[in-house]
Amino acid sequence: MLALSATATLVALLLAGVIVAGILGRVVTQGIDRRLDAQLALIATAVGKDGTLDRTRLRQVQGALDAGPGWRWRVEAPALELGSEDFPQIEAGRPEHLTGAGGRGHVRPIEGLSRDGDAVHGRALRLETPGGAVTIFATAPRDIIERPVRDALLPLLGMLATIGALLGLAALSQIRLGLRPVRRLRDGVAAVRDGSIERVDEAQPEELRPLAEELNALVRDNAAALASARASAANLAHALKTPVATLALDLRDDPRAAQVERIDTTIRHHLSRARLDSSSIRAVTRVAPALEALVHTISQLHASRNITVEVDSARDYAVAIGPSDFDELLGNLIDNAARYARTGVAIEVQPDGRMLRFEVSDDGPGIPAAERDRATAPGVRLDERGDGHGFGLAIARELAALHGGALKLEEAAQGGLAATVTLPMSKRTMP
């Protein structure tokens, strides 16, 4: 918007400069033409009705014809030609009606070059007499037209530049002032996203009030849809919980009991998700203490393998996700890395715009690129060894997406798997 305004202002000022320069040139040219026409009229008083020239009269007016260096005159009569010795080569323009010389004949503008190659401007008067046509020429250096225009343009250009700068500052101030409500609305939407407020302020300018109302309606609809989804998941989980528990008792010593246990684990997971507060205010988790607790717990779980878990740059970040969801999401990723690591796990935490990026990498065997998408599908285990159920990466992906983030699997620098998850940072003040 600012670039468009600046471009429009610059174009307008350039056009104004060109137009003013043209007007100045025309005004100066008209002034010079009036002086040249006066010379023509003065010389015409020496032309008799029969086309003869009165030399005495010419000598009388010759002093008035000398207006300065470069001013020249010439008379071409049927029997005689008189005038300045260094009269320039000229080309006559279209004829005009003469305003001087008693209204006799027609005057035409002329342009030409002096013997020194300098441009000249002049006027030519043609008088029709019984003795033949008489043409009178008067010329002046074109520089006397261009010099005043140049002298006037220099301060004019400075004035236009000043006006342009002032208009640019005014446009910048106007745009910044005009966009201030938009920035406030943007900050309100960001605060809703990170859980600081429930709705954006609808006390907006008239143009933005409908947008604020629609945003609040969208927030309400999303909250209602989320509550409905959670209720449906809770109802389904509750409906399945008792039959699965009964089935587990019946299959207590059956090899298929492990599959029933996996189903029960999934049901309990969704029951715990359904117990979360369904309001639109998101919980906030401080990253450093939460990671420290997770690292301590997982290090204890894998203490027999001497696996080291290192955290880099956790600092005092906060993310818009509940502590239980954070523990489940990062805990699954860290435990999965520690399970397959040979010597250690590295956790790097870095801001990425409005998001916080967690990279959990290990030096284990990793996952082939062709299998990484399938690895995040629920219940899929690429390695059947161990006691995993195949839900860790799937749960991590689900929780990341639920809170506005994403999970990405890549190859780590150590050769193992690098699981990168992004979560929205929170600006909400925590006790």
Q: What does the block give as tokens for 118?
A: 């300098």
| Rounded Cα gap, residues 420 and 348, in angstroms | 9
* Residue 238 confidence (pLDDT): 64
Domain that holds residue 138: 2-147
Residues 268 and 297 in one domain: no
Among 218, 249, 281, give the residue marking a domain's end.
281
Q: Categorize the per-residue pLDDT at 113 as very low, low, confident or very high, splitting at 50, 70 and 90.
A: confident
One domain, residues 424 and 290: yes
Confidence of residue 382 (pLDDT cuts 50, 70, 90): very low
pLDDT value at residue 257: 74
Co-location of 238 and 314 in the same domain: no
- pLDDT of 430 reads 43
Alpha helix (H) residue ranges in 45-142: 55-65
Q: What is the pLDDT of residues 144-187, one digit of tens each?
A: 888 888 887 778 778 878 887 887 788 778 777 877 888 888 88
Is 11 inside a domain boundary? yes
Q: Does residue 224 sit in the same domain as residue 362?
A: no
Sequence-distant (6+) residues with CB within 8 A of 426 are 194, 195, 196, 282, 284, 318, 319, 320
**CA-based angle 197:321:287, to the nearest 5?**
115
Please give the pLDDT value at position 293.
92
Together in a domain, 256 and 204: yes
pTM: 0.45
> Do residue 355 and residue 259 come from a single domain?
no
**Is 369 contained in some domain?**
yes
Are residues 86 and 132 both part of a single domain? yes
Instruction: Taking residues 106-123, report their average pLDDT.
Output: 85
* Domain finish residue from 281, 316, 345: 281
Regarding whether 265 and 128 lie in a shared domain, the answer is: no
* Average pLDDT over every residue of 72-101: 69
* Residue 249 maps to a domain: yes
Domain membership of residue 170 (yes or no) is no
Q: Taking Cα atoms as reference points, which of 180, 187, 222 lies closest to residue 205?
A: 180
Q: What does pLDDT average to over the chain?
A: 80
Looking at residue 387, its pLDDT comes to: 46
What strands, in cross-sheet order, belong to the sheet with 344-352? Answer: 308-312, 344-352, 355-362, 417-424, 406-411
Task: Specify the range with the lowest mean pLDDT, choosing from 208-217, 243-252, 283-292, 404-413.
Answer: 243-252
Distance CA 299, CA 269 (A): 23
Query: What integer pLDDT is reported at residue 379 of this predicted model?
Result: 47
Residue 166 lies in a domain: no
| Residues 423, 352 contacting (CB under 8 angstroms) | no
- Indicate whether 286 and 429 sit together in one domain: yes
Last residue within a domain, chosen from 254, 281, 308: 281
171 occurs within a structural domain: no
Domain count, the chain: 3
CATH number for position 416: 3.30.565.10
Give the pLDDT of residue 390: 47
Model pLDDT for residues 217-243, shown as the tens digit of each residue: 888 888 788 777 767 766 776 677 667
In a domain, 177, yes or no: no
- Of residues 4 and 206, more confidence is placed in 206
Q: Which residues contact 301 (CB under 8 A, 6 or more apart)?
A: 335, 338
* Residue 372: partners with Cβ closer than 8 Å, 6 or more residues away: 409, 410
Shared domain for 292 and 364, answered yes or no, is: yes
Residue 72: exposure state from Cβ atoms within 10 A (0-12, 13-18, ≥19): buried
pLDDT tens digits, 278-337: 444 457 889 999 999 999 999 998 888 889 999 987 678 899 888 888 998 999 999 989
The verdict on residue 277 lying in a domain is yes
Residues 15 and 113 in one domain: yes
315 in the same domain as 380? yes
